[in-house]
Amino acid sequence: MSGEVVTRLMKGNEALALAAIAYGVDSYFGYPITPQSEILETLSAKHPETMTVLQAESEVGAIHMVYGAAACGKVAFTSSSGPGFSLMQGGISYMCGAGLPAVIVNVMRGGPGLGTIQPSQADYYQVVKGGGHGDYHLFVVAPSSPQEMADFLPLAFDWAFRYRNPAVILADGTIGQMMERVSLNILRHGTFDTTWAADGTLHKRSTYNRISSLRLDPADMEQVTVERFEKYALAEKNDARSEVFAVEDADTLLVAFGSVSRVARRACEIAAEEGLRVGLFRPITLWPFPAEALRKAATSARHVVCVELNMGQMIDDVRLSLSSTPLSESVLHYGHTGGITLSPSEIVTFVKTIS
């Protein structure tokens, strides 16, 4: 599929799976769980001979298989949702500690516990703040369409290998299940630097590459952690991404990611028809969070409203981003949880109550 443009109607989950094939991913290990099972199903049906696709016995098994493949320098990924992603937290923490690149896809459903199979954005804390133990961050990118499910896969792998750290594609169930026209024109990945990987051979210094997160010397543990956070600081400076809509003279600024950003954009259009000045700031990367871009977008705003499919999680990062401005006291939340989706008209109604 390399270099070939394929355009057709497909689900977000399917688009991501086909993008992985086009990109030349070496291996996928996963376990079926709604609403992301089509990723495993599509890969199982379509994968080329050069790609390993395996249904693990559980999500715990899947993430540790990814650990093993990544330790050998392979381009590997997995996907899950809700309870399955929770089971992966130990393996993700180990991968961060060992400095291993991989991509994890989380197509969010409601929770906690088994919750619901309906769309949700309530995994924000878990993914952006870190669901495992220790000092680490995950690179997190949030697609808002099936097209971006495909487009963001190469981006996530680029971050993972450049910084030697797992990256997450965080989609809500709406994006995974919705069908839209998608164009796949993804070139196969080039050569990543894997001189650090365990390849079973002796290297120039006559020592084997050692992949481990175990650091028994406290000074060594601190040094490795400091070096990891120096890379994070570089990513915060260079890799935060966002987009804006109608923010130039916005009196109210909506902040939304994923599928909700699409609803919020339509709300801005309806508000404009009614004479209201409402703009949209969409964080594309949830970590690193585009704080500087948000402050710039909120220049003319009197109110900032975080619109989310949860009880208010991204709102903490928005408030932190605006903490140096008077707006920090005017950040509000509006949303639903439990799988209830939002409509543009109800967002406009809420804006009217605060205008």
Question: What span, in angstroms and rounded, lies between the C-alpha atoms of 137 and 115?
Answer: 26
If pLDDT is split at 50, 70 and 90, which confidence band does 203 have?
A: low
Report pLDDT digits (tens) over 108-147. 999 999 999 999 999 999 999 989 999 999 999 999 999 9
DSSP structure string for 236-263: HHH---EEEES-TT-SEEEE--THHHHH
Question: Can 6-201+225-238 and 242-354 be said to share one CATH topology?
Answer: yes
Q: Give 246-280 pLDDT, tens digit per residue.
A: 999 999 999 999 999 999 999 999 999 999 999 99
- The Cα 76–Cα 39 span in angstroms is 14
The domain made up of 6-201+225-238 has a fold known as Rossmann fold (3.40.50)
Short-list 330, 340, 145, CA closest to 253: 330
Is 333 in a helix, a strand, or coil?
strand
Structure tokens at 108: 């969010």
242-354, CATH topology level:
Rossmann fold (3.40.50)
Beta-bridge mates of residue 171: 107
pLDDT digits (tens, 9 = 90+) for 210-234: 899 999 999 999 999 999 999 999 9
Note the pLDDT of residue 4.
Answer: 67
Question: What is the mean pLDDT of the segment spanning 173-186?
Answer: 94
> Would you give the DSSP letter of residue 312?
S
Q: Buried b vs exposed e over 209-219: b needs ≥16 C-beta within 10 Å?
A: bebebeeeeee
Give the C-alpha separation, 8 to 316, whole Å.
39
Question: At residue 264, what is the residue type?
Answer: A
Find the distance separating the first CA and the last CA of the chain, reported in whole Å.
51
DSSP 85-116: HHHTHHHHHHHHHHT---EEEEEEEE-STT-E
Asked if pLDDT for residue 206 goes beyond 50, the answer is no
Tell me how far apart the alpha carbons of residues 15 and 24 are, in angstroms, rounded to a whole number.
14
User: What is the chain's mean pLDDT, rounded?
Assistant: 94
* pLDDT for 1: 42
pLDDT at position 187, please? 79
Residues 6+ apart with CB under 8 A from 323: none
Q: Provide the residue ranges of all domains of the chain, joining segments of one domain with +.
A: 6-201+225-238, 242-354
The verdict on pTM exceeding 0.75 is yes
Nearest one of 75, 89, 64 to 157, comparing CA atoms = 75
Looking at residue 152, what is its pLDDT? 98
Q: What angle do CA 105, 109, 111 make, to 5 degrees?
A: 120
Statement: residue 2 has pLDDT above 70: no
Which positions ≥6 away from 72 have C-beta within 8 Å? 197, 198, 199
Kindly report, residue by residue over 284-314, the tens digit of the pLDDT: 999 999 999 999 999 999 999 999 999 999 9
Q: Which two tokens stand for residue 254?
A: 């909506």
